[in-house]
Structure 1
Amino acid sequence: MIIPIEELEAETLAAIAESFVLREGTDYGEEEVSLSAKVEQVLVQLRSGEAVLLYSELHETVDIVPKDQVKFYLQGN
């Protein structure tokens, strides 16, 4: 199920984005990028619609996925 980000408090959305960044351990290349910058990049993608929040009833988890991969994720749950 897609969670509309407009229904979340800003602090909750930021906490979800931070958890995602920490969990994913993303590599941003040779230049070190701060945690806050990484979180902001995720929030920008969510606000622009490039990525969405998905809730899995099966796993009782929230994940951030690229919009073009939503169908794949929904089939797996």
Structure 2
Amino acid sequence: MENNKCQTEEGIEVPWEQINPDTLRRMIQEFVSRDGADWDQDGCSLEEKVEQVLGQLRNGRVRVVFDLKSETANLVAGDERKT
């Protein structure tokens, strides 16, 4: 069963600490502004939202996952199934 699990998984977790800080910041900016998200309605600036996500990365509530199929990185909730 373990072999089957490995074959169906498509992504790998990337330690956020190993990502260039500028690249990580751009990833987070793209993430918080994705799909027309109106973060300004919460009374927060883009920079404040970026800092919130950085905090969530630090405490494990958010992870960076690289999707092998699409060859893209994404931010996901820390409690989502680890690969």
TM-score when normalising by structure 2: 0.73
Partner Cα separation in structure 1 for residue 32 and residue 56 of structure 2: 13
Matches within 5 A, 1:6-21: 6-21=17-32
Matches within 5 A, 1:41-56: 41-56=52-67
Partner Cα separation in structure 2 for residue 50 and residue 26 of structure 1: 21
**Displaced runs of 4 or more, over 4 A:** none
Aligned pairs, how many? 71
The alignment's C-alpha RMSD in Å is 1.9
Q: 1:69 maps to what in 2?
A: 80
Pairwise CA distance, 1:65 = 0.7
Please list every run of 5 or more consecutive structure 1 residues that lacks an aligned counterpart in the other structure. Answer: none
Residues 57, 27 of structure 1: alpha-carbon distance in 2 compared, 3 angstrom cutoff:
same
Residues 65, 26 of structure 1: alpha-carbon distance in 2 compared, 3 angstrom cutoff:
farther
Pairwise CA distance, 1:31 = 3.9
Partner Cα separation in structure 2 for residue 13 and residue 56 of structure 1: 16
Identity of aligned residues (%): 34
Q: 1:39 maps to what in 2?
A: 50
Please list every run of 5 or more consecutive structure 2 residues that lacks an aligned counterpart in the other structure. Answer: 1-11
